[in-house]
Amino acid sequence: MKAVILDSDSLGEGIDLSPIENQVSELVCYPLTSPEQVDERIQNADIVITNKVVLKGSSLERTEKLKLVCVLATGMNNIDLEAAKKLGIPVKNVEAYGTPSVVQHTLMMMLSLATKMPVMQKRMAAGDWQQSPLFTLLDPPTFQLEGKHLVIVGSGELGQAVKKQAEALGMRVTFTARPGKTDDSRPSFEALLPEADVISFHCPLNNETKSLLNRENLKHCQPHALVINNARGGVANEHDVLDALRNGQIGGYATDVLPQEPPKDGHPLLDALNEPLNLIVTPHNAWTSPEARQRIVELTANNISSGCSQT
C-alpha cells in the first residue's frame, strides 16, 4: 500500500510521521507539489495525502490505484468531492485537532482588539507616550469585555470552546442559526448583528457563508463591535470590512485567513496594517502549535486504518 504526501512541508519540522508510516508499506513525502506535478505524483498511489494541494476531478480520473484521499485539515474545498464520489474514492479529513491552539488565538485577537493593542503599539512606536503630558495615553479608550455580548457563527467544537473561555471573561454568548438553514430555531446572524459587541466566525466557507458579513449588514453593527475571523477567507467580505473599519462602522477587525493563501498578489488588509486602525492580520497560523500538528498525523493514520479496512 503506497501513500504519498503532496505537501509535507505544511506540517513543519519536528513532526513524527511514524503513525502514518506504520499504516502503509511505502510512504513518499514531497515537500511541496505544484499543480503541474500533481498527476504524475498521484498516478501510482493507493493513498494520497494533501493539506492544501488541489485535487481536480481530472486528476482523480487519471489515477489507476487510488483508494483513499486524506486531507491534513478540516476544510476539503481543495478536493473535487463530487468527482471523488463518482469514482468511489473516499475522502477523509481531520477535525478537532487544534481546538486549544485556535481558541488561544481567538482569545488573543479578542483581547488585543479590546485593549486597542494594534493602535497603541503604533502610538508607542511614534513616541506618543514619551511626549504625553499625562502619565498614560487615554486615546483610544480600551473596551471592557465583561458583560458584553459575543455572537458566534459556528457551534461546533471550536465555537463551543470559544464560548467556554468567553464566559470565563464574564461575557454573554449566543450562537447564531446555521446560515441558510430554515429549520434552526436559533436567532439568525442578521437578527443578532445589531446587538453584538463581538462577532467570531468558526464556520465553514460555503455558498451560505460566503460574504456573510458584507457592506449591507455592516451598516447594522454597533460602532464599537469587534469582528474576528478564524474560519475561512471570504466569510467576511474583507473589502467591505476594511471600509467599515475606516469609516468607524465597527471598532476592530482581526483575521487569520484570507481568500488567497499565501497572498502573493497582495491584499488591501495587508496594506492597511500601516494605518492607525484597530486591525490584526495573522498568517493562517492559529492552528500551528506542535501539539496540533502532531495530532493531525495521528488522526490521519486513524483515517488510513479505517478507510483502507472499508475498501
Catalytic option among 41, 284, 293, 295: 284
Assess whether pLDDT exceeds 90 at residue 182: no
Q: List 254's β-bridge partners, or say none.
A: 228, 280
Residue 218 near residue 172 (C-beta atoms within 8 A):
no
User: In the predicted model, what is the mean pLDDT of the chain?
Assistant: 95
Query: Which residues span the domain enclosing 141?
Result: 99-281
Choosing from 41, 178, 202, 232, the catalytic residue is 232
| pLDDT of amino acid 77 | 85
Element (H, E) at 100: helix 99-114
CA–CA gap between residue 266 and residue 111 (Å, rounded): 27
Indicate if 261 belongs to the active site. Answer: yes
Are 133 and 227 in a shared domain?
yes
Distance, CA of 2 to CA of 298 (rounded, Å): 18
- If 0-12 CB within 10 Å is exposed, 13-18 middle and 19+ buried, where does residue 227 land? buried
Q: Determine which one of 26, 208, 216, 261 is catalytic.
A: 261
Q: What is the pLDDT of residues 269-284, one digit of tens each?
A: 999 999 999 999 999 9
> Are 227 and 212 contained in the same domain?
yes
Question: 162: which 3 cell numbers?
Answer: 470559544
Angstrom CA distances, 34 to 4, 55, 72, 78, stand at: 14, 11, 17, 13
Q: Does 225 lie in the same domain as 83? A: no
Same domain, 140 and 260: yes
Check pLDDT > 70 for residue 308. no
Q: Which residue bears the cell 455580548? A: 149
Mean pLDDT of 92-96: 93
Tell me how many domains the chain contains: 2
pTM of the model: 0.88
Give the residue among 154, 10, 80 at the shortest CA–CA distance from 173.
154
In the predicted model, is pLDDT for residue 166 greater than 90? yes
